[in-house]
Chains A and B, each alone.
Chain A
């Protein structure tokens, strides 16, 4: 099952903290993170990569982005 982090409406560094929190709970799998700014998109991707997760896909969704990160 995919976990989802809805970080829309939060400003930096909150989306990064929420992503790191979720990553701490699972050691592998897929996580979907929803963000609504370019800054958050970039920072969340960077945070995931720094923890050994791979940014699989970034889709535009409405005003924001759906970021899918994975670790196998």
Chain B
């Protein structure tokens, strides 16, 4: 069906964005998003936290402020104890409280497979919406969380992950992108997206697709969770990560010293990953310093936006 155009629609379904944005007044737009998935950790409370942090992130990535949220739940009530559901919802609610977001409702259905997530509504000034398009030549790229949650989750599934890797991966997934987004909005940035299922390079490819720019990623500057490299070398790589690489490989130009495993880490499918922010070069170090000061410790400058090669990402 043809898409209906509306002068007040700022970000719609066609642009592969993190959330939809609709202008209500000259100075006010709503940001809406929905995200839910199957458990990626064993502990129900933690799963609730991860799902909520992940759902909220889509609003943060657009420069929005989340206000209200609704739960969406699929639960196998015949074979699973209701206390599991209660723990999941508690975990989700804890993250909403931390974010200052009100839970205003939700819906549950019976399903063979457990799923949980949230629909989040936020607000943003119509002229301050940050999308994944608009990165400019000379910009620096800041990533606010380390990579590796997909690979570590696979190692956890296989019973091969150590305590330290598991704990740091969970900590990474339950960390809100709130602070990072607020600091980003204190200065003029050109583009932002959050890193989720397509991995760092998959989302970076979306940023430059159809734009007149290319990118350079400093591979060794990209922060990675402990254990990620070791597990990658052992072949504990999620299918989604491998598909991310295969799909975007034509857009990638990698230096000879970048190993196959390193490339896969850069494509690793993340859950509740960090923000990737394209910021003017002269403001990059200020933003990075602010992020570190405010506790976003994993943040790093990991690349830059170039004029050439257009539509491609070089990795060095």
Q: A residues 14-34 with Cβ under 8 Å of B?
A: 14, 16-17, 19-20
Residues 229-243 of chain B: 1 if any A CB is under 8 Å from the residue's CB, otherwise 0?
000011111110011
Please encode chain B, from 160 to 179, with 1 for each CB lying within 8 Å of some chain A CB and 0 for all others. Answer: 10000000000000000000
Contact A13 B158 (CB under 8 A): yes
Shortest distance in angstroms between A31's beta carbon and chain B's nearest beta carbon? Answer: 14
How many chain B residues touch A (CB < 8 A): the figure is 17
Interface residues of A in 48-72 (CB under 8 A from B): 50
In the complex, the answer to whether B242 meets A16 with C-beta atoms within 8 Å is no
In whole angstroms, what is the CA distance A46 to B233 when docked? 6
B155: Cβ under 8 A from any A Cβ: yes
Whole-angstrom CA separation of A13 from B241 in the bound complex = 13
Chain A residues near B290 (CB-CB < 8 A): none
Number of contact residues on A: which range applies?
Answer: 10 to 19
The interface residues of chain A lying within 8 Å CB-to-CB of B261 are 46
What distance in Å separates the Cβ of A2 from its nearest Cβ neighbour in chain B? Answer: 21
**CB–CB A16/B239 < 8 A:** no
Given the known interface contacts A38-B242, A39-B239, A39-B242, the answer about A13 and B233 at a Cβ–Cβ threshold of 8 Å is no
Min CB distance A67 to B, Å, is 11
In the complex, are the beta carbons of A13 and B154 less than 8 A apart?
yes
Closest to A16 in B: B235
Chain A residue nearest in CB terms to B156: A13
Q: Does B289 contact A (CB under 8 A)?
A: no
CB distance from B166 to the nearest CB of A (A): 15
Instruction: Give CA–CA (A13, B159) in the complex, Å.
Output: 10
Asked if B242 contacts A44 (CB within 8 A), the reply is no
- Cα–Cα distance between A46 and B154 once the two chains are bound (Å): 15
Q: Do B236 and A43 have beta carbons less than 8 Å apart?
A: yes
A16 CA to B236 CA, complexed, in Å: 7
**Who on chain A is nearest to B230 by CB?**
A50
CA distance A16 to B154 in the complex (A): 11
CB distance from A24 to the nearest CB of B (A): 13
Minimum CB–CB distance from A69 to chain B (whole Å) comes to 12
Q: Given known contacts A12-B154, A13-B157, is B237 in contact with A39 (CB within 8 Å)?
A: yes
Q: In chain B, what residue has the closest Cβ to A20?
A: B234
A50 to B159, CA, bound (A): 18
**Contact residues in B for A5 (Cβ distance below 8 Å):** none
Q: Which of chain A's residues have a CB closer than 8 A to the CB of B159?
A: 17
Interface residues of A (CB under 8 A from B): 11-14, 16-17, 19-20, 37-39, 42-47, 50
Given contact pairs A45-B235, A46-B233, enumerate 13 new A-B contacts (beta carbons under 8 Å).
Answer: A12-B239, A13-B154, A13-B160, A16-B158, A16-B235, A17-B158, A17-B159, A20-B234, A42-B235, A43-B237, A46-B234, A47-B235, A50-B234
7 closest A-B pairs by CB? A47-B235, A43-B235, A46-B235, A13-B158, A39-B239, A16-B235, A39-B242
| A-B contacts, 29 listed (Cβ < 8 Å) | A12-B154, A12-B236, A12-B238, A13-B154, A13-B157, A13-B158, A13-B160, A13-B235, A16-B235, A16-B236, A17-B159, A17-B160, A20-B234, A39-B238, A39-B239, A39-B242, A39-B243, A42-B242, A43-B236, A43-B237, A43-B242, A44-B235, A45-B235, A46-B233, A46-B235, A46-B237, A46-B261, A47-B234, A50-B235
